[in-house]
Amino acid sequence: MNRRILLIEDNEENRYLATFLLETHGWKIVHAADGPLALTTAAGIAPALILLDIQLPGMDGYAVARALRSQPALDGVPIIAVTSYAMPGDRERCMAAGCNGYIEKPIDPDTFVRDIETFAPGTRGDAA
């Protein structure tokens, strides 16, 4: 089973927490700290899931989502926005950009992995 997640996140604390929680549940995390790096590596990683911070330096998460969605190799790979944006309409903006889900920061350690895994069919119950 593909247990790779591409985590696109520029904030070190957020990256650390998400990585810790997911690795504890058997996921392998590949990091990209900005959009351009994510776009050049995503297809080669063949991730089961992509977690995408929206507030990124330079190229924001909406642009990254649209660019990821333009890559045929990533067809069918869920993109989950993980964002501290909490403005009305942000969820819709994420979906319009090609995301499949939306999780608000701050990350809740008690629910984060379960929420993520709802987007990866067949992986629930594999938790270590």
ω into 36 cis (within 30 of 0): no
User: For residues 35 and 58, what is the distance between their CA atoms, to the nearest angstrom?
Assistant: 8
Q: Which is nearer to Mn ion, 30 or 59 (CB)?
A: 59
CB neighbours (10 Å) of residue 111?
10
Is 117 a residue that touches Mn ion (CB under 5 A)? no
Q: Which is nearer to Mn ion, 3 or 59 (CB)?
A: 59
Terminal CA-to-CA distance of the chain, rounded, Å? 15
Measured from the CB of residue 11, what is the shortest distance to Mn ion in angstroms?
A: 5
For Mn ion, the binding residue among 3, 4, 10, 33 (CB under 5 A) is: 10
Q: Which is nearer to Mn ion, 53 or 117 (CB)?
A: 53
CB neighbours (10 Å) of residue 106?
10
Measured from the CB of residue 58, what is the shortest distance to Mn ion in angstroms?
A: 11
Binding to Mn ion (CB under 5 A) within 45-104 occurs at 53, 55
H or E stretch covering 35: helix 35-45
Chain residues binding Mn ion by CB under 5 A are: 10-11, 53, 55
